[in-house]
Homo-oligomer: A and B are copies of this chain.
Amino acid sequence: MLVLGVDPGLATTGWALVDQERGKLRLLGAGCWRTPAEADHGTRLLQLWEAIGGMLQSSGPSSVAMERLFFSRNTSTAMAVSQARGVLVCAVAKARLPLHEYTPAEVKQSVTGSGSAGKLQVARMVRMILGAAVPVGPDDVTDACAVGICHQHASGLRGAVVGASRR
């Protein structure tokens, strides 16, 4: 099962293709989509729309995982992220793929075992789980990997529960 993990932002959106085969997670690719600050708002959103649309078409994931929006103290940042997120969520719906959302605490808990883990701890565990393939770079890429791992773990768990209840 291939999952596209996405960490939305207007300036930088992280993405990661996290695959699972026989219980083993593997990173097929990761990076970020950047939009130029000097471009107008609509152009930047359209670039995001086209970037995720192209990725969904070319890589064919079976689902997409994203962090739930959290309450931000910086409202203008929150609004910019929300607009980018709206476009990304819409593109996933247009591709008729299921979207799975997790809170930041759920992602941290799933990746590190602690819902209050710090950024460094998450980055270290992401690298331990997915290996050296994780690009050293912006947090957005690590966060996209983390939410992809989180969804793989959750799916595995759901699978196990269904399996157990069928016995």
A contact residues vs B (CB 8 Å cutoff):
40-43, 45-46, 48-49, 69, 71-72, 75-76, 78-79, 82-87, 89-90, 92-94, 99
Contact = CB atoms under 8 A, between A and B. Distances in A.
Contacts of A75: 71-72, 75, 78
6 contacts: A42-B89, A42-B99, A45-B86, A69-B79, A85-B86, A87-B90
Nearest to A79: B82
A67 B48 CA distance: 22
A156 B17 CA distance: 51
A156 B64 CA distance: 46
A76 B17 CA distance: 29
Q: How many copies does the complex hold?
A: 2
Contacts of A40: 93, 99
Given A78-B79, A87-B87, 5 more contacts: A75-B78, A78-B82, A79-B79, A82-B83, A83-B89
Contacts of A93: 40, 42-43, 45-46
A40 B69 CA distance: 15
A100 to B, nearest CB: 11
Nearest to A82: B82
